[in-house]
Chain A
């Protein structure tokens, strides 16, 4: 039996939303060519790269990093546990717990935009959106289904990649230097709040663009605009201008989440079947 709920005063049929999500996930799963890079790129960015840096620095010393000197200058600004006394390990602690934070936002953002752009524009390009519009599904149900169908895989892959990061880097640190490096509590709000909020914001923009765009490339190019501020954050973070602390992370997550919610309600209320069908 379909489950009906009321969201924003509108009755939604969760049976239909579930059908959309399940169908989209099955399509993503069936498309190996798309699925493999979606897993390899995050693993490369978030496990292989930091793993290599850690292994090199712990075995060859900090001089192996070309910008080690400038990085060392910022160490005092971060709350590195007093228990870690070794300068090399303090440096790695900062890199692994702070410098890499933005990567864990880029990954879900990237996944969410790719999946959702494909989920909407792909339906247009393959002529299936028209068929969907002929069924009793409402605008809100369709948008919600598309949103969750992109959010769920993005969030779970990102979470999975973080778990791998946590295990691999700590095993590596322990094996090479007897130290657990990834252990800042900042990861809790980052992974559970900030990353989902950032991907929701990316999704809101991508959905807005996708319902209007004619091709996948067009949708992706416009959605990429969302990625630029995040890349900016990375640079800012690396140069030590802004230092993440748990409160900032929670506030940022709330602000971005609020913005995402506002944009999503706008996308749904402006969803115009007539316009969509005329551009097909």
Chain B
């Protein structure tokens, strides 16, 4: 089953800026898709095209079988955007009640669902405190609870760990990971936080300057950038990098070093990482390492 199917999606804003060109990608139902790229690459524009906030200037996107501009889709999707906040004057419970009403969740069901989410997000003890008194990390958990209220089939997360300290980012990451598995929802996760994405996502897309430059599973992306394989041989005396094409060459390399009189401490096969693949496609300039 395909949850998100974008074909040749493009967006040129009214001011003439091309934010996205010819983006084609598919995300299967239940998949956690990581959309990675530097700031300003077009991630937010992509999310807003997929969740129906913006109309594409070319191409089209089919979301859960309907065209992305179908107004009814908002009942089945949820978006957690970097700048989309909730009401600071209201308490957590009041906030969640308000949004539950906008999603037409009947009162009793909303009450049950809210208590359940508060429990899951470890927010129960502060449910009647005003949101304005919360730390950024706690607010993010409230926002996450909001996106899950109506049991969405697709969750768009745009930089969910932005502005969080490493500890809070870690907590939120773990939560997203668990919730995505438990709910079975499809997750479209935008981030420039590589390590975070590597842990949570099943497959990835890399975007640069409004273009999708690579996509695939973890394994596929790594393989696509591995031109040569390497072993790192550490001896008491030095460190050696040995490239090989055939695994029997590893043995030759080790023998050669031993023959020179050095004492081997460690032999490690070096594999490319998602990070290597990312930098291969995106380039290092202007990127903030997550």
Contact A128 B86 (CB under 8 A): yes
Q: Quick one: given A23-B90, A30-B89, A131-B86, are A277 and B53 in contact (CB under 8 Å)? A: yes
Contact residue among A27, A30, A280 (Cβ-Cβ distance under 8 Å from B83): A280
Instruction: Flag if B86 contacts A130 (CB, 8 Å).
Output: no
Q: Is the CB of B87 within 8 A of A23?
A: yes
Taking A23-B98, A277-B54 as known contacts, 19 extra A-B pairs with beta carbons closer than 8 A to each other, sorted by chain A number, are A16-B101, A22-B98, A23-B87, A27-B87, A127-B83, A127-B85, A128-B86, A130-B81, A130-B84, A131-B146, A134-B51, A134-B79, A134-B81, A135-B102, A135-B103, A136-B71, A136-B104, A278-B13, A278-B14
| Interface bits B91-122 vs A (CB < 8 Å: 1, else 0) | 00010001101111010000000000000000
Query: Which among A16, A126, A130, A137 is the interface contact of B88 at CB below 8 angstroms?
Result: A126
CB of A137 to closest CB in B, whole Å: 5
Cross-interface CB contact of A26 among B85, B90, B146, cutoff 8 Å = B90
A128 adjacent to B101 (CB under 8 Å): no
> Which residues of A lie under 8 Å from residue B24 when comparing CB positions?
none
A138 sits at the interface (CB 8 A):
yes
When C-beta atoms are compared, the residue in chain A nearest to B102 turns out to be: A135
Chain A CB within 8 A of B74 CB? yes
A2 touches B13 (CB 8 A): no
- In order of increasing CB-CB distance, the 3 nearest A-B pairs are A19-B101, A127-B85, A130-B84
B19 to chain A, nearest CB (A): 10
Residues of chain A within 8 A (CB-CB) of B74 are 134-136
Can you name the residue of chain A whose Cβ is closest to the Cβ of B147?
A134
B78 touches A (CB below 8 Å): yes
* Distance between A17 CB and nearest chain B CB, rounded to angstroms: 10
Q: At the interface, yes or no: A31 with Cβ under 8 Å from chain B?
A: yes
| Among candidates B87, B101, B103, residue contacting A18 with C-beta atoms closer than 8 Å | B101
Which residue of B is nearest A23, CB measured? B98
Determine whether A79 belongs to the interface, using a CB cutoff of 8 Å to chain B: no
- Assess whether B124 is interfacial by the CB under 8 Å rule: no
Asked if A127 and B53 make an inter-chain contact with CB atoms under 8 angstroms apart, the answer reads no
The reply to whether B53 and A274 form a contact with Cβ atoms under 8 Å apart is: yes
Contact A134 B98 (CB under 8 A): no
Q: Mark A74-117, 1 if CB is under 8 A from B, else 0.
A: 00000000000000000000000000000000000000000000
Q: Min CB distance, A95 to chain B, in Å?
A: 41
| B contact set with A: CB distance below 8 Å | 13-14, 48, 51, 53-55, 71-72, 74-75, 78-79, 81, 83-90, 94, 98-99, 101-104, 106, 146
A2 touches B104 (CB 8 A): yes
What residues of chain A lie closer than 8 Å to B13, measured between beta carbons? 278
Q: Are B104 and A15 in contact (CB under 8 A)?
A: yes
Contacts of B88 in A (CB 8 A): 126
In the complex, chain B residues whose CB is within 8 Å of the CB of A137: 102
* Known contacts A274-B53, A277-B48, A277-B53; is-contact A131 B101 (Cβ 8 Å): no
Instruction: Report chain A residues within 8 Å CB of B53.
Output: 133-134, 273-274, 277
Pick from B55, B98, B106: contact of A19, CB under 8 Å: B98
User: Contacts A27-B90, A30-B90, A136-B75 known; A274 to B55 CB distance under 8 Å?
Assistant: yes
Contacts known (A13-B104, A273-B53); A130 close to B87, Cβ less than 8 A: no
**Contact across chains for B89 and A31 when beta carbons are under 8 A apart:** yes
Q: List 12 A-B contacts (CB under 8 A).
A: A13-B104, A15-B101, A15-B104, A26-B90, A30-B89, A31-B89, A130-B83, A135-B99, A136-B71, A136-B102, A136-B103, A278-B14
What B residues does A130 contact at CB under 8 A?
A: 81, 83-85
Residues on A with beta carbons closer than 8 Å to the beta carbon of B86:
128, 131
Task: Give complex CA distance A234, B14 in Å.
Answer: 44
Complex interface: chain A residues within 8 A of B146 (CB): 131
Q: A278 CA to B45 CA in the complex, in Å?
A: 10
Collect the chain B residues with CB atoms within 8 Å of residue A273's CB: 53
Contacts A133-B53, A134-B78, A274-B53 hold; do A19 and B89 have CB atoms under 8 A apart? Answer: no
Which residues from chain A contact B85 at a C-beta distance below 8 Å?
126-128, 130-131
Task: Please determine whether B102 and A16 come into contact, CB atoms closer than 8 angstroms.
Answer: yes
A207 to B102: give the CA distance in the assembly, Å: 21
A132 touches B102 (CB 8 A): yes
List the B residue with the shortest CB-CB distance to A16. Answer: B102
Give chain A residues whose Cβ lies under 8 Å from the Cβ of B106. 1
